[in-house]
Amino acid sequence: MGRVVLDHVTKKFDEVVAVDDLSLEIEDREFLVLLGPSGCGKSTALRVIAGLEDPTSGTVTIGDRVVNDVEPKDRDIAMVFQSYALYPHMSVRKNIEFPLRTRHVEPADRQIAVNEAAVALGLVGLLNRKPAQLSGGQRQRVALARAIVRRPAVFLMDEPLSNLDAQLRIQTRAELIELQRNLQTTVVYVTHDQVEAMTMGHRIAIMNDGVLQQVGPPQSVYERPANLFVARFIGNPPMNTMEGRVVDREGVRAVEFEGGCLPLDPAHAAAAEASGAKSLVVGVRPEHLAFSDDGALHAVITVVESLGHERHLICRLTDGQMIIVRQGSDVPRPAEGTAVRLAADPMHLHVFDAVTERRIDPR
């Protein structure tokens, strides 16, 4: 059983709080991604699960038992490190075999397990090499093989792809998803890369400053970010956000800010008013902005970034604020310097309380 539960876990290093009252349930066979900027506490949380750090308070449960007092080796986990942490003086075979040796598995069984892992990860021809003789991608596979050879209940992975080049990263990403599906094992995966999080996780847990911000399936986190941090962290190019207050414009409720004004639908406006927020932040993703003759935002296109399959139009509002519009490459490329009017899809507006930074949902 690979269920992992963190219950009010706090980890302090002297006076620095790395993980702040983290409660999180990871289901058996779930692929959970811990996502956040560097220093947000995600790696510390992972190390607490591994038993490499003791929580200052709170409990960690793996399977059915509380493991606070259990050594890492007895937690039925395996870990893949960012640097792979291969034993440089041992051959690939010895590396993969190491966790079995320490557990006094019979040589014959070890042999079988190592060969299976080597086949699964395409390492058969490399078993007698030393780690230094391998490419980055091969090392990464050895680290994975060493982790799967024991068939642990839970895999912990700390930025395992960050040392690979871009192309290999995409390939390995897909392979990891497949591997997890085949092994039917729980995976807790730490990354700062939102693309990895979006593509790999069944759910993602976003952390900032040691505090859990939101947990949920990738798509719902993208569509309904719980707060401003998540809204700005997830999505590339990032969500456009503008701070302003609710005003009445010709009978329509709208959020007015220095560079313009965006109308709200009545349900959203009502919710915003009911929340008592003095000031609001409206967010709109680049793909939900479009040219429109009666658009509420006046802007000038300053730079057109063409990515081949799509374009990013960097525009400036009248007050100079930058706003990004995503556009398919099937429409004609607009000229830089063109003055345009932009409209936002009201169904895809995100509204946040500017003070608490929390999301306000329409009623």
Partner 1 sequence: MAAELPRPSSAGRTRARHLTGLAARYLLLTVLAIIVIFPLYITIVNSLLTPGQIAARPPKFFPLHPQWDTYSRAWDVGHMSRYLVNSAIVTAFITVGQVVTATLAAYAFAFLEFPFKRTLFVVFLATLMVPFEVTIITNLTTVTSLGWYDSYQGLAVPFLATGFGAFLLRQAFLQVPRDLQDAAELDGYGHWRFMLRVAVPLARPAMAALSVFAFLGAWNQYLWPLLVTKDDRYRTVQIGLKQLRATSIDQVNVTFAGVMIAALPLVILLLFFQKQLVRGLTAGAVKG
Partner 2 sequence: MSTIDGGATLGETRSSAVVGVEEPKRPPRSRRRMREIGLAYLLLLPSLVIFGVFIFYPFLRNFYLGFYRTPPFPGLPMRYVGFDQYRDVLTSTDFLDSVKTTVLFMIMTVPAGIALGLGLAVLAHQRLKGIGVYRTIFSSTVATSVAVASVIFGTLFNPVVGLLPWLGVNPRPPILDNPQWALPAVALVTIWQTLGLTFILMSSGLQAIPDEIHEAARVDGAGAGTRFWKITIPLLSPTIFFAVVIGGIFAFQTFGQIDLLTQGGPLKKTNVLTYFVYRTLRTENNDGKAAVLAVALFTITMTLTLVQMRFLERRVHYGR
Cα(108)–Cα(114) distance, integer angstroms: 10
Nearer to partner 1, 55 or 225 (CB): 55
14 binds partner 1 (CB under 8 A): no
Contact yes or no for 60/9 (Cβ under 8 A): yes
293 binds partner 1 (CB under 8 A): no
β-strands 186-191, 16-26 pairing: unpaired
Q: Report angle CA 105, 119, 47 to the nearest 5 degrees.
A: 60
Q: Report angle CA 41, 46, 47 to the nearest 5 degrees.
A: 95
Smallest distance, partner 1 to C-beta of residue 62, A = 12
243 binds partner 1 (CB under 8 A): no
| Rg (alpha carbons) of the chain, rounded to whole number | 25
Nearer to partner 2, 23 or 83 (CB): 83
Nearer to partner 1, 98 or 291 (CB): 98
Q: Which stretch binds partner 1 (CB under 8 A): 37-45, 49-57, 97-105, 324-332?
A: 49-57
CA 330 to chain CA mean position, Å: 30
Residues that bind partner 2 (CB under 8 A): 50-52, 71-73, 77-79, 81-83, 85-89, 98-99, 102-103, 130, 132, 146
DSSP string, 260-296: EEEE--HHHHHHHHHHT-SSEEEEE-GGGEEE-TT-S
Nearer to partner 1, 52 or 112 (CB): 52
Residue 317, binding choice from partner 1, partner 2, none, Cβ under 5 to 8 Å by partner class: none
Nearer to partner 1, 47 or 169 (CB): 47
Helices (DSSP H) in the chain: which residue ranges? 42-50, 92-102, 107-120, 136-148, 166-183, 194-200, 218-223, 228-233, 266-275
Binding mask 55-84 toward partner 1 (x if CB under 8 A, else -) reads -------------xxxxx-x----------
Smallest distance, partner 1 to C-beta of residue 69, A = 6
Residue 99, binding choice from partner 1, partner 2, none, Cβ under 5 to 8 Å by partner class: partner 2
Q: Which residues bind partner 1 (CB under 8 A)?
A: 51-54, 68-72, 74
